Homo-oligomer: A and B are copies of this chain.
Amino acid sequence: MKLLEDKIREVGRVLPGDVLKVDTFLNHQVDPKLMAEMGKEFAKLFANDDITRIVTVESSGIAPAVMAGLYMDVPVVFARKHKSLTLTDDVYTSEVFSYTKQTSNQISIDKRFIKENDKLLIIDDFLANGQAVQGLLDIAKQANVDVNGIGIVIEKTYQKGHDLIAETGIHLESLAEIKSLEDGKVTFVND
Residues of A within 8 A of B (CB): 23-24, 28-33, 35-36, 58-59, 62-63, 65-67, 69-70, 73-78, 80, 109-110, 112-113
Contacts and interface: CB of A to CB of B under 8 A. Distances in A.
A135 to B, nearest CB: 16
B59 A29 contact: no
B28 A66 contact: no
Contacts of A73: 32-33
A73 B35 CA distance: 12
Nearest to A58: B59
A5 B78 CA distance: 23
B70 A28 contact: no
B66 A110 contact: no
Given A58-B58, A62-B63, A63-B66, A77 B30 contact: yes
Contact of A67 (B32, B76, B113): B32
A88 to B, nearest CB: 14
A33 B73 CA distance: 8
B70 A35 contact: yes
